[in-house]
Amino acid sequence: MKKNSSTYRIFEHIRDVDISEQDIYDYDIDILNQLLIDHTMSAKARAEANDQNKVVNIFWATSDYEGTVMDENGRIIVKGFQYKDEIKPENITGRNRRIVMPRVLKDKQAQIDRTKDKAEVFTPSWVCNAQNNLIDEAWFGRKEVFNQEIITEDGSHTWVPTSGKITFPEGDSQKTWKKYIVDNRMEITCGEAPYLVSRYDTTTGESIPIDRRIGLLDRKLRVINENVDNEKDWYTMAEKAFKHTYGYEWQGDNLLLAREALLYTYIEYFMDKFNDKDAEGNYVKDANGELKVPDKKKILNAARWISWNIWQMDGLKMVVPDSCDNQYETDLFGLKKKKVCDACSKGKMIGHIGVKCIIRDWNLKKPKEWKPKPGEDPHSQPWQKIEFSSLFFGRNVETEEEEIK
């Protein structure tokens, strides 16, 4: 099979609601590994070990998989599926290839339990659309930019996409299509990220065609597809769109689903732009039976941006989930003693002793006085890595003027 052949299952099943980790693994294990990495905990491990090769993955942060996964002999597998265990490729491929699935495909009792345990409630796509429309109404200064919301005769809510190319305010240098692409967007407690990408309705499981999608990142990619005419420009602008789209989530399985949804969205919009379609909307293969798909290196890069921008965090404390309960100090007698988080005890938002989450400001330039810390790789642009909590306490945010000339 050719290196970038479209006959890989990842492309043949690009529109599936339930994304297969096995398909990603078979295409390139490095891409799956990238989708599983926790950059905050990896940075901590590298600094402690003075080893820049240390990697820590996101962890389950849910007990849903404890006692539910069995081996070929019907025995329960304990290791690898406990609440605090990292999610490894072997946990979600092979015999385990279908254990992680969207909420809507889980059994009803599992949905109820997750709602009780973590207040997990997903939002219908029409509500996501209505709220996202408010953001664009404020940005564009007019209503119904991307679609028109309607209520049908039976009382159900839906929408009709606007026809033609999205128009931008004339004579305003701050309201161009390129400015729209680099305007930051973030979904808090994102679950499977329905506000960012809308491959399916998270409450019904219904697949949503690409021309009807309503996510914040979907809208950016629609604008890109309407304004570029070659692959080079598409790659450049898609990178900017992804680097300016953020989200965080507590539970590791949801986080993985969100990351996968963004990655598949990247592939889908490329394929939709550069492949012909038949009358039914299916992509038409060339004489060699191939479709145009993104270059593998580009997909890997996209997985890297996504793993940075969609991260695991306790949104109330702005630290890695449960990390306040896992901090220790050594007393005068050399005994380890668990620290008590005063902020947790008093219900404060700031001052937590847990591991503060690191995100990336992709615009930051290398300071002249910068020097690497132990375990840091200078080639990874560590000066771009900032604590998320710093965004709320007076940090100056650089503009994107140079980026979008």
Instruction: Quick: pLDDT tens for 227-282.
Output: 999 999 999 999 999 999 999 999 999 999 999 999 999 999 999 999 999 988 88
- What pLDDT was estimated at residue 34? 98
- What pLDDT was estimated at residue 216? 98
CA distance 242 to 359: 14
- What pLDDT was estimated at residue 109? 56
Token pair, residue 27, equals 């295409």
Strand-pairing partners, residue 385, are 360
- What pLDDT was estimated at residue 399? 46
Whole-Å CA distances, 162 to 145, 158, 212, 323, 398: 7, 13, 9, 46, 34
> Residue 243, SS3?
helix
- What pLDDT was estimated at residue 397? 46
CA distance 217 to 232: 19
The per-residue pLDDT for range 199-241, each reduced to its tens digit, is: 999 888 899 999 999 999 999 999 999 999 999 999 999 999 9
Transcribe 158-211 into DSSP letters.
Answer: EEEEPPSPPP--TT-TTSSHHHHHTS-EEESS-TT-TTT--SB-TTT--B--GG
CA distance 6 to 291: 6
Dihedral sign for Cα atoms in the order 63, 65, 66, 68:
positive
Ranges of the chain with pLDDT below 70: 1-4, 106-121, 374-376, 393-405
Region of 325 please: left (phi>0), alpha (psi -120 to 50) or beta: alpha
Between vectors from CA 159 to CA 152 and to CA 114, what angle results, nearest 5°? 95
Cα 345 to chain centroid, rounded: 31
DSSP state at residue 350: S
- What pLDDT was estimated at residue 398? 47
Token pair, residue 185, equals 């967007």
- What pLDDT was estimated at residue 51? 85
CA distance 264 to 270: 10
What is the reported pTM? 0.91
Element (H, E) at 38: none
CA distance 336 to 326: 12
The per-residue pLDDT for range 57-82, each reduced to its tens digit, is: 999 999 989 888 878 878 888 888 99
